[in-house]
Chain A
Amino acid sequence: MATSSVAPRLITFLLIAFLSENVAADALTWLMKINSAAAEVSFSGTFVYIHDGEIEAMEVVRRVKDGMMQERLYSLNGAPREIIRGMDKVWCYIPDQNVVVYDYRQISQSGFPKTLPSDFEQLKRNYRFVEGSDGRIADRPVQQINVIPNDAYRYGYSLWADSTTGLLLRSDLINQQDEILEQYLFIDVEIGGDITDEQLVAVSDKDELQLFGNNTPITASADSSDWLLTQMPDGYTLSKHIRRMSPMDAGEVEHLVYTDGLSSVSVFIKEIREGQSEMSGLSRMGAVHAYRKTLNNHRITVMGEVPAETVEYFARGVEYSN
Chain B
Amino acid sequence: MEQDENDIVLVERVQNGDKQAFNLLVEKYQFRIKHLVSRFVKDSHEQEDIVQESFIKAYRAISRFRGDSAFYTWLYRIAVNTSKNYLVAMSRRPPAQDVIADEMVHSRGAERLVESNSPEQIAQNDQLVEAIKQSISALPEELKQAIQLREFDGLSYEDIAVAMNCPIGTVRSRIFRAREAIEQAIADLVE
Touch A–B, Cβ below 8 Å: yes
**A contact residues vs B (CB 8 Å cutoff):** 52-53, 279, 283, 285-286
In this assembly, does B109 line the interface, its C-beta being within 8 Å of a C-beta of chain A? no
Q: Is A279 a contact of B17 with CB atoms below 8 Å?
A: yes
| CB of B134 within 8 Å of the partner chain | no
Q: Is the CB of B63 within 8 A of A286?
A: yes
Q: Is the CB of A52 within 8 A of B17?
A: no
Q: How far is the CA of A283 from the CA of B17 in the complex (A)?
A: 8
Which residue in A52, A279, A285 is a CB contact (below 8 Å) of B64? A52
- Determine how close the nearest CB of chain A comes to the CB of B127; give it in whole angstroms: 38
- Sample (7) of A-B pairs whose CB atoms are under 8 Å apart: A52-B63, A52-B64, A53-B64, A279-B17, A283-B17, A285-B63, A286-B63
User: Considering the complex, which residues of chain B in the window 32-75 have a beta carbon less than 8 Å from any beta carbon of chain A?
Assistant: 63-64
- Complex: chain A residue closest to B64, CB-CB: A53
CB distance from B53 to the nearest CB of A (A): 17
Closest to A286 in B: B63
In the bound complex, residues from chain A placing their C-beta under 8 Å from that of B17 are 279, 283
Q: How far is the CA of A285 from the CA of B63 in the complex (A)?
A: 8
Q: Report chain A residues within 8 Å CB of B64.
A: 52-53
CB distance from B18 to the nearest CB of A (A): 9
For A279, the chain B residues whose CB sits under 8 A away are: 17
Give chain B residues whose Cβ lies under 8 Å from the Cβ of A283: 17
Report the minimum CB–CB distance from A56 to chain B (whole Å): 14
Of all chain A residues, the one with the shortest Cβ separation from B65 is A53
Give chain A residues whose Cβ lies under 8 Å from the Cβ of B63.
52, 285-286
Rounded to whole angstroms, the CA-CA distance of A322 and B64 in the bound complex is 44
Q: CB-CB < 8 A to A285: which residues of B?
A: 63
Per-residue 0/1 for B6-45: is the Cβ within 8 Å of any A Cβ (1 yes, 0 no)? 0000000000010000000000000000000000000000
Nearest-CB residue, chain B, relative to A281: B19
Min C-beta distance of A274 to chain B, whole Å: 20
Closest Cβ of chain B: how far from A287's Cβ, in Å? 11
Cα separation A63 to B63 with both chains bound (whole Å): 36
Bound Cα distance A60, B52 (Å): 45
A286 cross-chain contacts in B, Cβ below 8 A:
63
A79-B63 Cα distance, complex, nearest whole Å = 21
Interchain CA distance A285-B64 in the complex, whole Å: 11
Give the shortest distance, in Å, between B133 (CB) and chain A (any CB): 41
A53 — which chain B residues lie within 8 A by C-beta? 64
How far is B61's CA from A286's CA once the two chains are assembled, in angstroms? 10
A285 to B17, CA, bound (A): 9
Output the least CB separation between B38 and chain A (Å). 30
**Cα of A286 to Cα of B60 in the assembled complex, Å:** 10
Q: What's the Cα separation between A279 and B19 when bound, in Å?
A: 10
Measured in the bound complex, the distance between the Cα atoms of B63 and A286 in whole Å is: 8
How long is the Cα–Cα vector from A52 to B63 in the complex, in angstroms?
7
Task: Report A210 CB to chain B, min CB distance, Å.
Answer: 27
Per-position contact with A for B153-168: 1 when CB-CB < 8 Å, else 0?
0000000000000000
Which residue of chain A has the shortest Cβ distance to B60 in the bound complex? A284
Q: Could you tell me the distance in whole angstroms from the C-beta of B52 to the nearest C-beta in chain A?
A: 20
* Residue of B whose beta carbon sits closest to that of A290: B17
Within the complex, the shortest CB–CB distance from A319 to chain B, in Å, comes to: 26
Question: Top 7 nearest A-B pairs by Cβ distance?
Answer: A53-B64, A52-B63, A52-B64, A283-B17, A279-B17, A286-B63, A285-B63
